């Protein structure tokens, strides 16, 4: 079940989700490296670092994030058409969870992202908020969701904000068929699990992938 | 019937809709002048002139328009709270019709604007596209919807684009209970009709309004 649009292109979309500090970028970098070693064409979905007009309301932030998201999606369409693997360090659900946590209605936020292509797989890096916080210090205002006014203390705000994001992700896990990875495990172990998951969605390269699975992780 | 949010504030929202060239600004200026002569507090909903990042896709344009719309709505909330009359030269349906004409789905566009307050009244200035075009010459690219690629000739593009907007408005007339004004009539006659319509939604000032109805139009 998913409200996303089916991806009718030959290319595959791989989404990695998780709270800040879960290790998404690290795992994605390793995954892309491995996929490229298998001669796969890999393209990154570069959604991070969007500009936000200040001061913003939750609605305005939601609309601007979605605009930025849809522009990224437009940019990777040619890659999907030519059969590439598009790796997204946060995809539509990341935008949605943030909108929900900022008080937007579920129906509204789902509709906003309804034009997003359904990913071939969504890998969810599950990490307790306390561990994420230790990894990320010092905490940036955006990661702490300081605009929500949950607390004036960044650490406390981070705990509450990222905790809510985590709850939203957990609630979505079944609907979007999350492949859950324990993000407290060693980076190498997580990566091996991720590669096993990804191998299933690149069937034409399965044999090649299996052969390389034993290869060292760079 | 309307998918908008009810306006629970004491203030009233008056929306004037119509294709470009229908005379919305003229009628709204006269209406505001008259309302102020009745000691009403009148605030304008200033949606026009939003910046658009180039190059845009229909989705991006829709999201940016809606962001601009919601910011305007935030700015007039205090006025609605204190009982003012907010006059909108184009309101949510103007954004929606443009989205629909650019190919966005009705469900998506409706949801996008679902947070807009339902206006107390929507006045629709109905004007044939041919007459609008004569009034507006020279035609600007945005008014002609040149981004849609309907025609390379601005006049032809305007005819097609504004014709589609008009069709969308006509289709919405019943659902949103449009008060339809014949925009080919004399400016003064249209204004008198509009004032009669507006008088119904400002009941506390009805008597005063009735007394002033015979007064000259400035």
| Sequence-separated (6 or more) residues with CB below 8 Å from residue A47 | A68, A69, A72, A88, A89, A90, A91, A94
Residues in chain A within 8 Å Cβ distance of B63: 63-64, 66-67, 70
Closest partner CB to A111 (pick from B67, B71, B111): B111
**Taking a C-beta distance cutoff of 8 angstroms, is the pair B52, B216 a contact?**
no
Q: Is the pLDDT of residue B158 over 70?
A: yes
In a domain, A20, yes or no: yes
Burial of B114 from C-beta contacts in 10 A (0-12 / 13-18 / 19+): middle
Give the distance, in angstroms, between the CA of residue A157 and the centroid of all CA atoms in the same chain: 22
Q: Both tokens of residue A19?
A: 């709270």
Q: Is the pLDDT of residue B80 over 90?
A: yes
pLDDT for position A49: 62
In a domain, B2, yes or no: no
In a domain, B21, yes or no: yes
**Domain that residue A156 falls in:** 12-210
Helix (H, G, I), strand (E, B) or coil at A182: strand
How confident is the prediction for chain B on average, in pLDDT? 90
The DSSP output letter for B148 is: G
In a domain, A181, yes or no: yes
pLDDT for position B71: 92
CA-based nearest residue to A192, from A208, A215, A171? A215
What are the pLDDT digits (tens) for B6-60?
999 999 999 999 999 999 999 999 999 999 999 999 999 988 766 666 668 899 9
ipTM above 0.85, yes or no: no
Question: What is the spatial order of strands in the sheet that A42-45 belongs to?
Answer: A42-45, A85-89, A12-17, A121-126, A179-182
In a domain, B7, yes or no: no
Prediction pTM value: 0.83
Q: CB distance B67–A74 less than 8 Å?
A: no
Q: Is the pLDDT of residue B212 over 80?
A: no
Provide Rg for chain A, Cα atoms. Answer: 17
pLDDT for position A202: 87
Does residue B71 belong to the interface with chain A, where contact is any CB pair within 8 Å? yes
In a domain, B38, yes or no: yes
Low pLDDT (below 70) residues in chain A: 1, 49-54, 203-218
Min Cα distance B75 → chain A (Å) is 11
Min Cα distance A171 → chain B (Å) is 23
CA-based nearest residue to B212, from B36, B25, B28? B36
**Taking a C-beta distance cutoff of 8 angstroms, is the pair A29, A133 a contact?**
no
CATH, residue B148 = 3.40.50.300
Min Cα distance B107 → chain A (Å) is 8
Q: Which residue of A has its CA nearest to B113?
A: A108
What are the pLDDT digits (tens) for B112-127?
999 999 999 999 999 9
- Mean per-residue pLDDT, B77-83: 96
Closest partner CB to A114 (pick from B67, B108, B115): B108
Residues in chain B within 8 Å Cβ distance of A59: 67, 70, 115
Does residue B70 belong to the interface with chain A, where contact is any CB pair within 8 Å? yes
Distances (CA, A) of A36 to A39, A163, A194, A217, B119: 5, 35, 15, 13, 56
The DSSP output letter for A5 is: B
Q: CB distance A67–B74 less than 8 Å?
A: no
Q: Both tokens of residue B141?
A: 């690219």
In a domain, B89, yes or no: yes
Backbone φ and ψ for B130, nearest 5 degrees, come out as -60, -40
**Taking a C-beta distance cutoff of 8 angstroms, is the pair A112, A183 a contact?**
no
Q: Which residue of B has its CA nearest to A62?
A: B67
Q: How confident is the model at residue B142 (pLDDT cuts 50, 70, 90)?
A: confident
Q: Both tokens of residue A118?
A: 């359904």
The domain tally of chain B equals 1
pLDDT, greater one: A177 or B206 = A177
Cα separation, A169 vs A93, in Å, equals 8
Helix (H, G, I), strand (E, B) or coil at B5: strand
Does residue A64 belong to the interface with chain B, where contact is any CB pair within 8 Å? yes
In a domain, B67, yes or no: yes
Q: Which sign, positive or negative, has the C-alpha torsion A80, A201, A119, A47?
A: negative
Cα separation, B60 vs B58, in Å, equals 6
Interface with chain A: mutation pick from B5, B54, B66, highest number of A CBs within 10 Å:
B66
**Taking a C-beta distance cutoff of 8 angstroms, is the pair B101, B169 a contact?**
no
- Mean per-residue pLDDT, B87-109: 95
- Strand B12-17 and strand A121-126: the pairing is unpaired
Min Cα distance B59 → chain A (Å) is 7
Helix (H, G, I), strand (E, B) or coil at B50: coil
Distances (CA, A) of B151 to B130, B141, B161: 16, 11, 10
Share of chain B above pLDDT 90, in %: 80
Does residue A59 belong to the interface with chain B, where contact is any CB pair within 8 Å? yes
Q: CB distance A57–B64 less than 8 Å?
A: no
């Amino acid at each position: 079940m998913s409200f996303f649009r089916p991806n009718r292109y030959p290319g595959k979309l791989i989404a990695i989700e998780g709270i800040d500090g879960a290790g998404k970028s690290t795992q994605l970098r390793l995954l892309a490296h491995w996929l490229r070693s298998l001669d796969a064409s890999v393209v990154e979905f570069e959604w991070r670092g969007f500009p936000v007009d200040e001061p913003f309301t939750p609605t305005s932030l939601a609309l601007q994030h979605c605009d930025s998201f849809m522009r990224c999606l437009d940019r990777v369409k040619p890659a999907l058409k030519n059969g590439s693997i598009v790796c997204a360090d946060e995809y539509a659900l990341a935008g949605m969870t943030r909108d929900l946590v900022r008080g937007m209605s579920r129906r509204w936020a789902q509709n906003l992202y309804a034009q997003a292509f359904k990913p071939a797989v969504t890998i969810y890096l599950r990490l307790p908020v306390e561990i994420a916080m230790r990894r990320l210090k010092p905490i940036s205002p955006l990661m702490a969701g300081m605009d929500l006014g949950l607390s004036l203390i960044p650490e406390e705000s981070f705990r509450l904000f990222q905790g809510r994001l985590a709850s939203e992700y957990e609630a979505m896990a079944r609907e979007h068929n999350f492949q859950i990875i324990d993000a407290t495990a060693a980076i190498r172990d997580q990566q091996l699990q991720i590669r096993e998951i990804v191998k299933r969605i690149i069937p034409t390269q399965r044999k090649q992938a299996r052969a390389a699975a034993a290869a060292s992780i760079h």
